[in-house]
Amino acid sequence: MVENYNFAVFSNDQAGILNRITAVFSRVNLNIEALSVCESEQSGVFRHSVQVRCEHATALRLSKQLERQIEVIKAEFQVDDDMIQQEVALYKIASKSMLEQTLTEQIIHRHHARILSMNSEYTVIEKTGKRDESQALFDDLSVIGVLEFVRSGPVSISKPMANDAMSSDMSFFKQHATCDADH
């Protein structure tokens, strides 16, 4: 069954490692639906969050191929249900309409969004939430006219406690992950 899989790939800080990670997915013709990179809770270790739609068997195979990369410390994946996800959306609208229409304020209020920046020309609205929530706000604002719209793509964090936080001993993880991959 094709599902949304959220990969968390932990790597050393080396130029080119992102290409190696994305190539594991593109090689099997998978589109990356969302991607974000940040330093993890462990200093010097980077977390690449990659979201793809694929079968479970494919996800399992790809996670092992990701761990095969020399600079990758650990690769794990989870389905949406096991993740808490959020994304940020920004909307730019003309300030004129803002001043003229209380409707806009009502929309912002109703969607629990907030005004991030405002001047005489334009207003930037920020909404944090799930994909359908930011989409709903977009749809409502479209009546007024959205000049520019951008979405961060989801960032996700795992729900279960089974995966302990990154240990300071990275080699432990790799050993653990590879040996138990199939048992």
Partner 1 sequence: MNTVSMISDAMNLSETKVLPVTETISGSQAIIKSLLAEGVSQIFGYPGGAIMPTYDALMDFENQLEHILVRHEQGAVHAAQGYARASGDVGVCIATSGPGATNLITGIADAYLDSTPLVCITGQVFAHLLGTDAFQEIDILDISMPVTKWNYKVTQASEIPAAIAKAFYVAKSGRPGPVLIDITKNAQVESLDFVYQVCRNLSSYQPYPRPNQMALAQAASLINSAKKPLVLFGQGVILGSADTEFLKFAERIGAPLASTVLGLSAIPTDHPQYVGMLGMHGNYAPNKLTNECDVLIAVGMRFDDRVTSNLEFYAKQAQVVHFEIDPSEVNKNVHADVAVIGDVKQTLPELMKQLDSNEHLAWMTEFNELHQVETKKIIQQDLSPNTKEINMAEVIGGLNDLHENPIVVTDVGQHQMVACRYAEFEKTRSLITSGGLGTMGFCLPAAIGAKFACPDRPVVGIVGDGGVQMTIQELGVLMQHKLPVKVIILNNQFLGMVRQWQELYFDKRYAATKMNNPNFGMIADGYGIANHQVTDREELASALKVMMDHPGAYVLEVMVAQQDNVFPIITPGASVADMNLGPLDINTNTEEHEERVDG
Which is closer to partner 1, CB of 60 or CB of 103?
60
The yes or no reply on residue 73 touching partner 1 (CB under 8 A) is: yes
Residues 37 to 66 in contact with partner 1, rule: CB under 8 A: 60-61, 64-65
Task: Let me know: does 88 contact 44? Beta carbons within 8 Å.
Answer: no
Buried b (16+ CB within 10 A) or exposed e, 88-102: bbbbbbeeebbeeee
Residues 119 to 178 in contact with partner 1, rule: CB under 8 A: 169-171, 174-175, 178
Stretch of 8-16, 33-41, 79-87, 110-118 lying at the interface with partner 1 (CB under 8 A): 8-16
Interface residue with partner 1 among 38, 41, 43, 70 (CB under 8 A) is: 70
Residue 45 tokens read as: 């270790």
Q: How far apart are CA 109 and CA 70, in angstroms?
A: 49
Q: How far apart are CA 147 and CA 94, in angstroms?
A: 7
Residue ranges that bind partner 1, judged by CB under 8 A: 11-16, 19-20, 23, 27, 60-61, 64-65, 67-68, 70-73, 169-171, 174-175, 178-183
